[in-house]
Amino acid sequence: MEERLGLTLKRIAALIGVIGLTFFIASPALANSLVATSPIAGATLKVAPSAVTISVEITPMDMGNEVTVTDPAGRRVDDGTLTVAGNDIIIGMKPIKDSGVYKVSYNIISEMDVPLEGSFIFNFSTPTISVPEEVVPSTPTKVEGSDFATNLFVIGLLVTSLIVLIALALYARKIFNER
Protein backbone atom coordinates (compact mmCIF):
# COMPACT_ATOMS: atom_id res chain seq x y z
CA MET A 1 0.00 0.00 0.00
CA GLU A 2 2.79 2.40 0.92
CA GLU A 3 4.55 1.52 -2.33
CA ARG A 4 1.42 2.39 -4.30
CA LEU A 5 1.00 5.68 -2.40
CA GLY A 6 4.64 6.57 -3.12
CA LEU A 7 4.10 5.90 -6.84
CA THR A 8 0.98 8.11 -6.87
CA LEU A 9 2.85 10.94 -5.12
CA LYS A 10 5.65 10.66 -7.68
CA ARG A 11 3.12 10.91 -10.52
CA ILE A 12 1.47 13.97 -8.95
CA ALA A 13 4.86 15.62 -8.45
CA ALA A 14 5.82 14.88 -12.07
CA LEU A 15 2.50 16.30 -13.30
CA ILE A 16 2.96 19.48 -11.25
CA GLY A 17 6.50 19.78 -12.60
CA VAL A 18 5.35 19.45 -16.23
CA ILE A 19 2.58 22.00 -15.72
CA GLY A 20 5.00 24.38 -14.01
CA LEU A 21 7.52 24.06 -16.84
CA THR A 22 4.79 24.66 -19.39
CA PHE A 23 3.89 27.99 -17.78
CA PHE A 24 7.51 28.90 -17.14
CA ILE A 25 8.82 28.13 -20.62
CA ALA A 26 5.80 29.19 -22.69
CA SER A 27 6.55 32.36 -24.62
CA PRO A 28 4.16 35.27 -24.33
CA ALA A 29 1.89 36.03 -27.25
CA LEU A 30 3.39 38.63 -29.52
CA ALA A 31 1.25 41.61 -30.35
CA ASN A 32 2.50 44.76 -31.96
CA SER A 33 1.73 47.97 -30.13
CA LEU A 34 2.49 51.64 -30.46
CA VAL A 35 5.49 52.73 -28.38
CA ALA A 36 5.87 56.43 -29.25
CA THR A 37 5.06 59.06 -31.83
CA SER A 38 6.83 62.19 -32.95
CA PRO A 39 5.21 64.65 -32.77
CA ILE A 40 3.67 63.39 -29.55
CA ALA A 41 -0.03 62.58 -29.87
CA GLY A 42 -2.11 65.56 -28.79
CA ALA A 43 0.85 67.96 -28.70
CA THR A 44 0.63 71.56 -29.89
CA LEU A 45 3.52 72.53 -32.14
CA LYS A 46 4.80 76.02 -32.92
CA VAL A 47 7.25 74.74 -35.55
CA ALA A 48 6.03 72.62 -38.45
CA PRO A 49 7.45 69.07 -38.40
CA SER A 50 9.50 67.92 -41.38
CA ALA A 51 8.52 64.28 -40.74
CA VAL A 52 6.24 62.15 -38.58
CA THR A 53 7.75 59.15 -36.78
CA ILE A 54 5.80 56.20 -35.38
CA SER A 55 7.69 53.78 -33.11
CA VAL A 56 6.28 50.28 -32.61
CA GLU A 57 7.20 47.33 -30.42
CA ILE A 58 7.79 44.75 -33.19
CA THR A 59 9.93 45.58 -36.23
CA PRO A 60 7.62 46.39 -39.15
CA MET A 61 8.00 44.92 -42.63
CA ASP A 62 9.60 47.08 -45.29
CA MET A 63 6.56 46.93 -47.57
CA GLY A 64 2.80 47.20 -47.10
CA ASN A 65 2.77 49.90 -44.42
CA GLU A 66 0.56 52.96 -44.81
CA VAL A 67 0.84 56.30 -43.04
CA THR A 68 -1.10 59.40 -44.05
CA VAL A 69 -1.13 62.88 -42.56
CA THR A 70 -4.09 65.17 -43.28
CA ASP A 71 -4.59 68.86 -42.54
CA PRO A 72 -7.70 70.42 -40.93
CA ALA A 73 -9.40 70.51 -44.37
CA GLY A 74 -8.73 66.78 -44.94
CA ARG A 75 -5.99 67.25 -47.59
CA ARG A 76 -2.89 65.06 -47.44
CA VAL A 77 0.19 66.94 -46.27
CA ASP A 78 2.63 64.04 -46.16
CA ASP A 79 4.99 63.74 -49.12
CA GLY A 80 4.50 59.98 -49.46
CA THR A 81 8.11 58.99 -48.65
CA LEU A 82 7.77 56.17 -46.13
CA THR A 83 10.95 54.85 -44.51
CA VAL A 84 11.33 51.92 -42.11
CA ALA A 85 14.31 52.29 -39.76
CA GLY A 86 14.43 49.58 -37.10
CA ASN A 87 11.18 49.82 -35.14
CA ASP A 88 10.43 53.32 -36.49
CA ILE A 89 8.33 54.26 -39.48
CA ILE A 90 9.05 57.75 -40.79
CA ILE A 91 6.94 59.66 -43.29
CA GLY A 92 8.14 62.92 -44.80
CA MET A 93 5.99 66.05 -44.64
CA LYS A 94 5.24 68.83 -47.08
CA PRO A 95 5.64 72.32 -45.59
CA ILE A 96 2.53 73.13 -43.55
CA LYS A 97 1.31 76.65 -42.91
CA ASP A 98 -2.29 76.32 -41.71
CA SER A 99 -3.06 76.25 -38.00
CA GLY A 100 -5.33 73.50 -36.76
CA VAL A 101 -5.63 69.82 -35.94
CA TYR A 102 -3.64 67.41 -38.11
CA LYS A 103 -4.53 63.72 -38.18
CA VAL A 104 -2.02 60.90 -38.65
CA SER A 105 -3.56 57.57 -39.71
CA TYR A 106 -1.46 54.42 -39.87
CA ASN A 107 -1.68 50.76 -40.85
CA ILE A 108 1.55 48.99 -39.88
CA ILE A 109 2.31 45.40 -40.82
CA SER A 110 4.80 43.28 -38.88
CA GLU A 111 5.83 39.78 -39.79
CA MET A 112 3.52 37.12 -38.32
CA ASP A 113 1.30 39.68 -36.61
CA VAL A 114 -2.05 41.35 -37.04
CA PRO A 115 -1.79 44.79 -38.72
CA LEU A 116 -1.58 47.65 -36.24
CA GLU A 117 -4.15 50.26 -37.24
CA GLY A 118 -4.91 53.55 -35.61
CA SER A 119 -4.60 57.29 -35.69
CA PHE A 120 -3.54 60.21 -33.56
CA ILE A 121 -3.71 63.97 -33.82
CA PHE A 122 -1.43 66.91 -33.19
CA ASN A 123 -2.10 70.62 -33.28
CA PHE A 124 -0.10 73.10 -35.29
CA SER A 125 -0.26 76.72 -34.27
CA THR A 126 1.36 79.17 -36.65
CA PRO A 127 3.72 81.44 -34.81
CA THR A 128 2.37 84.93 -34.30
CA ILE A 129 4.58 87.80 -35.34
CA SER A 130 4.94 90.27 -32.54
CA VAL A 131 6.15 93.81 -32.97
CA PRO A 132 9.09 94.46 -30.69
CA GLU A 133 8.49 97.09 -28.06
CA GLU A 134 10.41 100.30 -28.30
CA VAL A 135 13.31 100.25 -25.91
CA VAL A 136 13.53 103.35 -23.78
CA PRO A 137 17.04 104.06 -22.56
CA SER A 138 17.25 104.49 -18.85
CA THR A 139 19.87 106.04 -16.70
CA PRO A 140 21.88 103.45 -14.87
CA THR A 141 21.21 103.33 -11.18
CA LYS A 142 24.10 103.47 -8.82
CA VAL A 143 24.93 100.03 -7.55
CA GLU A 144 25.01 99.95 -3.82
CA GLY A 145 28.55 98.97 -3.01
CA SER A 146 29.82 97.50 0.16
CA ASP A 147 30.25 99.86 3.02
CA PHE A 148 33.07 100.11 5.55
CA ALA A 149 31.36 97.77 8.06
CA THR A 150 31.05 94.99 5.48
CA ASN A 151 34.68 95.36 4.47
CA LEU A 152 35.75 95.28 8.11
CA PHE A 153 33.66 92.15 8.74
CA VAL A 154 35.22 90.29 5.77
CA ILE A 155 38.74 91.29 6.83
CA GLY A 156 37.98 90.13 10.38
CA LEU A 157 36.81 86.73 9.09
CA LEU A 158 39.97 86.33 7.02
CA VAL A 159 42.24 87.19 9.96
CA THR A 160 40.30 84.84 12.27
CA SER A 161 40.51 81.97 9.78
CA LEU A 162 44.27 82.56 9.39
CA ILE A 163 44.74 82.43 13.18
CA VAL A 164 42.70 79.20 13.40
CA LEU A 165 44.75 77.68 10.56
CA ILE A 166 48.05 78.51 12.32
CA ALA A 167 46.73 77.16 15.65
CA LEU A 168 45.67 73.88 14.02
CA ALA A 169 49.04 73.50 12.30
CA LEU A 170 50.89 74.05 15.61
CA TYR A 171 48.61 71.60 17.42
CA ALA A 172 49.13 68.96 14.71
CA ARG A 173 52.90 69.43 14.93
CA LYS A 174 52.78 69.04 18.74
CA ILE A 175 50.79 65.78 18.51
CA PHE A 176 53.09 64.44 15.79
CA ASN A 177 56.25 65.21 17.84
CA GLU A 178 54.86 63.52 20.99
CA ARG A 179 54.53 60.19 19.21
**Does 164 reside within a domain?**
no
Task: Convert the pLDDT of each residue in 100-146 to its tens digit.
Answer: 999 999 999 988 778 889 999 999 998 666 667 776 676 665 556 66
**Does 99 reside within a domain?**
yes
**Does 158 reside within a domain?**
no
Count of structural domains, the chain: 1
| Domain CATH number, residue 62 | 2.60.40.1220
**Does 24 reside within a domain?**
no
**Does 82 reside within a domain?**
yes
pLDDT-derived band at 23 (thresholds 50, 70, 90) equals low
**86, amino acid identity:** G
Which one, of 65, 72, 68, 62, lies nearest residue 97 by Cα? 72
**Does 109 reside within a domain?**
yes
Structural domain range at position 71: 34-124
Task: Convert the pLDDT of each residue in 59-86 to its tens digit.
Answer: 898 888 999 999 999 999 999 899 999 9
**Does 151 reside within a domain?**
no
Kindly report whether the peptide bond that precedes residue 127 is cis, defined as omega within 30 degrees of 0: no
pTM for the full model?
A: 0.55
**Does 74 reside within a domain?**
yes
